Amino acid sequence: MRSHDLERDLATLRDGLPPRGGKRHRVVVVGAGVAGLVCAHELLRAGHDVELIEARQRVGGRIYTMREPFAPGLYAEAGAMRIPRSHRLSIALIERAGLAVKPFTMHNPNAYCHLFGRKLRLSEFESNPAALGEELAEQDRGLVSGARWQALLQPYAQRIERDGDEGWRAIAGELDGYSTREFLEKHGWSEAAIEVFGLVNNQEAIMNSCFLELLREEVGNYYTDMVRIDGGSDQLTNSFLPSLRQRIRFGARMVALDQSERDVTVHYETAAGRGRAIADYAIVTVPFPVLRHVEVLKPFSHAKRRAVRQLRYDASAKIFFQCRRRFWEDDEGIVGGGTVTDLPIRNLYYPEAGKATGRGVLLASYTWSEDAQRWGSLAPDDRIEQAIEDVAVIHPQILAEFEVGASWMWHDDPYAGGAFALFEPGQQGLLHEHIIAPEGRVHFAGEHASLAHAWIQGSIESGLRAAREVHAHPA
């Protein structure tokens, strides 16, 4: 985001939308995730008449804190679980809600690296990658410490620091057509180096996505100095309920969208039948895989229709285990962080919440893309059974300490259709401007309508942009 846009957005969160003359608008917002809640709240604060249509029976969208089937005091983050301090809009929104945060530990040298049939502590692997038995070329060995990877990124970070938005535009023009794999091959990385990089950095499943997605996160320090909301991420979205509760219609799924020169109509379906909301403007925040199945009676432009069809969404799967005791902390000294593996579970995290109970919820598996789709093809009980087998390879104690399991597949959620937008090579230049462009009286928001895909920050940014667009309309 451009720095002046960021400052303007921070000011909006603090002070509200700028004063304006003219009539106040009737606005229908579709979707009560972060983007929908933010734009509805700001428009209501500015005096507009707002109605929210939400298909689920809760707010939050892809912020989903699971409190069942876990014991009291325990929960699991099926969706957003961490916030970088560099995401100033997210931090500002958390502070506005008066919520407490605690550090989210990304890296723990006491956690494990289980690759190629060998299990090492991460500290052992990072000091001696050859211990895995893979024959990395001498020039490849620095990648495990991050040195070679950081050296590759440094020129881009320096250009952005020096040239700002112009630097980003130039880099996007150069690299939009590259996947991460193609970018590494272009810079002479061997296949062994690419494989280890993908495994250790949880990138193997998305190696064919647009490299700009990864570059944006790395240069923006997305994975350093992270926090979690103490008590659950859902507290952030639930903080909007006092102001918006009476404006939300739960259990209402948009099935059709129409507009004229004078107004816009959202047709929705509830358990009791069909209804409609008529307003001056609509802000649609639902993911594009969901929008594909909505009848648009006055068709969108060709460019918008293409964006809705072609924008790629990635699959994501999480599997959770409630454990009778926190054996990873008690027995192995692992407090926070994550273990990386080439097993089907791929990545295993050690959430720090719930310590007062003596029990813990292990994020037994966090997978993306093809890895996640495979878990989604299994029956829920089979997911738990197979994940236990994998976790037992790392932590044999799980066989004695497991109490209950749960899983969540975002690509199987009918109201999400995927975990987050993720550009394929070339899609930023081809689709982004058309994703965010209004269509008559219909405006668009959501993490997909930003360049901070998959992050709360992108949802907030897009929600504020859409609110600003509607607020600026004179009639």
Q: What is the pLDDT of residues 252-308, one digit of tens each?
A: 999 999 999 999 999 999 999 999 999 999 999 999 999 999 999 999 999 999 999
List the Cα angle 440/443/445 in 5-degree steps: 160
Provide CATH 1.10.405.10 ranges for the chain.
137-219
Q: Which two tokens stand for residue 190?
A: 């061997």
| pLDDT of amino acid 87 | 97
| pLDDT of amino acid 128 | 80
How much is the pTM? Answer: 0.95
Residue 74: closest CA among 82, 65, 87: 65
pLDDT band, residue 145 (cuts 50/70/90): low
Q: pLDDT tens digits, residue range 188-200?
A: 998 888 998 899 8
Q: Does domain 137-219 have CATH number 1.20.120.790?
A: no
Provide CATH 3.50.50.60 ranges for the chain.
3-59+240-312+422-472
Q: pLDDT tens digits, residue range 359-411?
A: 999 999 999 999 999 999 999 999 999 999 999 999 999 999 999 999 999 99
Cis ω for the linkage preceding 438 (within 30 of 0) = no
Measured CA to CA in angstroms, residue 475 lies from 27, 436, 464 at distances of: 12, 21, 19
Greater model confidence, 376 or 222: 376
Q: Is the pLDDT of residue 107 over 80?
A: yes
Provide CATH 3.90.660.10 ranges for the chain.
65-88+101-107+316-412
Q: What percent of the chain has pLDDT over 90?
A: 88
Kindly calculate the radius of gyration of the chain based on its CA atoms and give it in whole angstroms: 23
Q: Is the pLDDT of residue 134 over 90?
A: no
pLDDT band, residue 136 (cuts 50/70/90): low
Q: Compute the average pLDDT of residues 152-163.
A: 93
CATH for 65-88+101-107+316-412?
3.90.660.10
Q: Is the pLDDT of residue 241 over 80?
A: yes
Give 407's strand partners: 319
List of residues 6+ apart from 330 with CB closer than 8 A: none
List of residues 6+ apart from 457 with CB closer than 8 A: 84, 87, 89, 90, 450
pLDDT band, residue 438 (cuts 50/70/90): very high
Q: Which two tokens stand for residue 111?
A: 């956690």
| pLDDT of amino acid 221 | 87
| pLDDT of amino acid 474 | 86
3-59+240-312+422-472 CATH fold: FAD/NAD(P)-binding domain (3.50.50)
Measured CA to CA in angstroms, residue 401 lies from 37, 121, 318, 398 at distances of: 40, 22, 19, 5
